[in-house]
Structure 1
Amino acid sequence: MRMTAEDRDRVTAAVTAAEAGTDGEIVTVVARASDAYHDVALHWTLLAMLLVLALLAAFPRETVERLHLLVDPWAPAVSTRAALTIALFLLAVTFLICRLVLAWRPLRLALTPGATKARRVRARALAIFRAAAEKRTAAGTGVLLYLSLDEHRAEIIADAAIHDRVPDETWGAAMAALVGPLREDHPADGMVAAVGQIGLVLGEHFPRTPGDTNELPDRLIIL
């Protein structure tokens, strides 16, 4: 899933059209992902290592017999040092294999819980909003539409003046307009539709007044 130059132009044109009837300002941002999720890979790696230890503890007799054959089949017993050394070796191999496999981004994303993705996308959107839109307009009427492609998640965050007048559930139509095309791998169509819905909300609560100027860029920002 990606955004072409034509897609960027379409979203930019949609923002310009939506702002024509309102004093509000819409900022659109698309990111490939909101986080690398390397910590998630580490969590799964540690879980795999604990599983290896659990298997060694659950089947001690079978483990000792196999270690006996592996270390020295003629020895009367496996020494504690040898047993612990082999256990450490198995843990190290498990760690390396898991880290190698989980270096593949699609697998990390697939193994990341949905709640974790939602939190990371929300946190990234808030950070971008504070840097790019919050209190950047004279009347505090900035809105951020943020789309994170890899997570298939989006956020709409509004400035204080808008948030005071428009309840969060009002943005449901815009999110629905975005999610439908997004599920069919048409993010630009979703962004254009969502921007249109946001423009309708802003036009109702913050209609355009004489002398209004364009305070934030209309162009789609690609991260």
Structure 2
Amino acid sequence: MSLLDGAGRDAVAAAVKRAEAGTDGEIVTVLAERSDAYHDVALHYPVAAVLAVTAIAAIHPPLLMVGDTGWGDWQLEQGLFALLVAQTVTFLVVRFALAWMPLRLKLTPRATKARRVRRQAVRAFRLGADRRTKAHEAVLLYLSLDEHLAEIVTDSAIHRRVPNEAWGEAMAALVDEVRAGRPAAGLIAAVDRIGTVLAEHVPRTEMDVNELPDRLIEL
């Protein structure tokens, strides 16, 4: 299933073509539904819940004392069985709840999501842009929809010439539109600003050729 409709994809491709008209740099746009399944998160919370149940049982034992002589065998067996049942039920309930991806993403720390998005952006750059241009002047714009996070990854020549701060406006414009439910508009706005930065630092020369596709890549 496509993440954008045909009009949206065409508009992003047109924005890339327009932005590249003033620069020797190449812009690659990548759109992903999400950057990770976060299976580890879906396990961490159930395990933490089980440990919490165990801690509560240790603080407030659900077992019955027999006189002053300590635990009776029957009470101990019943108590351990009840604890095991509580642990199992807790694990399954939390695990099945986290099968719902919106909840799993909600409970995933933002720093974790940022690392996963960055990792996937770098991977996409290596596959689709790294060393694909003669002058190493490619810029990849990566947007992960479910995380509402984006990354800009640049080739070596761009990295040397353009400070990281220069991409701030592009990132802000993109994320604002995505949060408003307009990913295509966000990509277009970001591409326009990336083109402005590239035109300043890597202006177009007579040697410029279109080395990478303008179309939006959807993952």
Counterpart in the other structure of 2:26: 25
Identity within the alignment, %: 58
Give the partner amino acid of 2:55.
A
Aligned length: 212
Matching of residues 51-66 of structure 1 within 5 Å: 51-60=52-61, 63-65=62-64
In the alignment, which of 166, 170, 177 is matched to residue 174 of structure 1?
170
**Unaligned segments of structure 2, at least 5 residues:** 67-71
In the alignment, which of 202, 206, 213 is matched to residue 206 of structure 1?
202
In the alignment, which of 70, 78, 85 is matched to residue 81 of structure 2?
85
Partners of 2:95 and 2:162 in 1: CA distance: 46
**Unaligned segments of structure 1, at least 5 residues:** 69-75
Aligned-pair CA distance for 1:14: 0.3
Aligned-pair CA distance for 1:177: 1.6
Counterpart in the other structure of 1:137: 133
In the alignment, which of 89, 104, 113 is matched to residue 117 of structure 1?
113
Deviations 1:170-205 (A, max 9, x none): 101111221221221111111101001111111111
Q: Which moved more, 1:166-175 or 1:206-215?
A: 206-215
Partners of 1:174 and 1:160 in 2: CA distance: 19
Q: TM-score, normalised by structure 2?
A: 0.92
What SS is found at the alignment partner of 1:78?
helix
Indicate if the aligned counterparts of 1:64 and 1:78 stay in contact, CA closer than 8 A.
no
Partners of 2:98 and 2:194 in 1: CA distance: 38
Q: Which moved more, 1:84-93 or 1:195-204?
A: 84-93
Partners of 1:97 and 1:179 in 2: CA distance: 34
Partners of 2:165 and 2:23 in 1: CA distance: 20
What root-mean-square deviation, in Å, do the aligned CA atoms of Structure 1 and Structure 2 show? 1.6
In the alignment, which of 98, 103, 108 is matched to residue 99 of structure 2?
103
